[in-house]
Homo-oligomer: A and B are copies of this chain.
Amino acid sequence: MATDRQGFEIRVAAAAENVPLVRHALRAYLETVPMPEDRVAEVVLAVTEACANVVVHAYPDADGDLQVAADLDGDVVEVRVRDNGRGITPRVDSPGLGVGLPVMAAIADSIELGKANGSGTEVRMTFAVRDTASHPGSDSATLST
Known contacts A90-B106, A98-B98; A145/B67 CB under 8 A:
yes
Number of copies of chain A assembled together:
2
Question: Which listed segment binds B: A18-26, A27-35, A36-44, A129-137?
Answer: A129-137
Chain B residues with CB under 8 A of A69: 143
A144→B91 contact, CB < 8 A: no
Chain A's interface size range is 35 or more
Chain A residues 61 to 105 lying within 8 A of chain B, measured CB to CB, are 67, 69, 80, 82, 87-92, 94, 97-99, 101-103, 105
Does any Cβ of B come within 8 Å of A139's Cβ? yes
Q: Which of B9, B97, B103, B116 contacts A141 (CB 8 A)?
A: B116
A82→B141 contact, CB < 8 A: yes
Known contacts A9-B144, A94-B98, A143-B67; A88/B117 CB under 8 A:
no
CA distance A143 to B115 in the complex (A): 12
